Amino acid sequence: MSNKTRVAIVTGASRGIGKAAALRLARDGMSVVVNYAGNATEAGKTVAAIQEAGGRAFAVQADVADETAVAALFDATVREFGGVDAVVNSAGIMRLGLLAEFSLSDFDQIHRTNVRGTFVVAQQAARHVRSGGAIINLSTSVERQALPTYAAYAASKGAVEAMSLILARELRGRDITVNAVAPGPVETEFFLSGKDPATVERIAKLNPMERLGQPNDIAEVISFLAGPARWINGQVLYVNGGMN
């Protein structure tokens, strides 16, 4: 499938997996809208990298849980690029802690971004994505691992998976695929924060490849789902080097 005239919105695209996905989709030939929550400098670097490689991109600030801001994000995309063909829900936050001791304030923040944010973006995607398009939500492999301290985060991603599978069926007849990508541990600032080297090494060895994933490992799968993978729909794809 040619992506030359196709358009993608990538949320949380200023850093990490979101940035890698934006760069990869641009390399595939798509025009890319780089969404960010607050780091305009990093979002600008993503846009600059795409433009320097000959691609088309611009950045839009929007809190993914704010329905008015997200509607404006989609409206800006349509005005600038004429439509929307792929939406990658990459924005997310993670807080860790034992369930019995977990801050309910942190719990609410996680669910505001990861659950409400995915719902709000998916709602606009369902209204705007053109025939032949794709909606790709980011989940996590840790949900299957049932690791202590991940209860709040894994619960939010369980909700993301449920939404993805149901939306795929609700879009019956429109030739739009909806899937969730569930990465294992990926070497990003998001993952490394708060972990000592021994913990990182232990986690890296949980999969038979004995390494952490790289953002490009995940972007490769997102690219596949956003482009040629028209017969994969309503699925959760675990991208974790065989950790499960």
Is-catalytic flag, 36? no
31 vs 34: CA distance, rounded Å: 10
103 vs 84: CA distance, rounded Å: 38
**Residues comprising the chain, all counted:** 244
The one catalytic residue among 36, 150, 153, 238: 153
- Secondary structure letter of residue 163 according to DSSP: H
Number of H helices, E strands in the chain: 10, 7
Q: Are 89 and 115 in contact (CB under 8 A)?
A: no
- Side by side, which strands form the sheet with 177-183? 57-61, 31-36, 7-10, 84-89, 129-138, 177-183, 236-239
Angstrom distances, CA of residue 46 to CA of 52, 60, 63, 180: 10, 12, 18, 23
Show which residues are catalytic.
Answer: 153
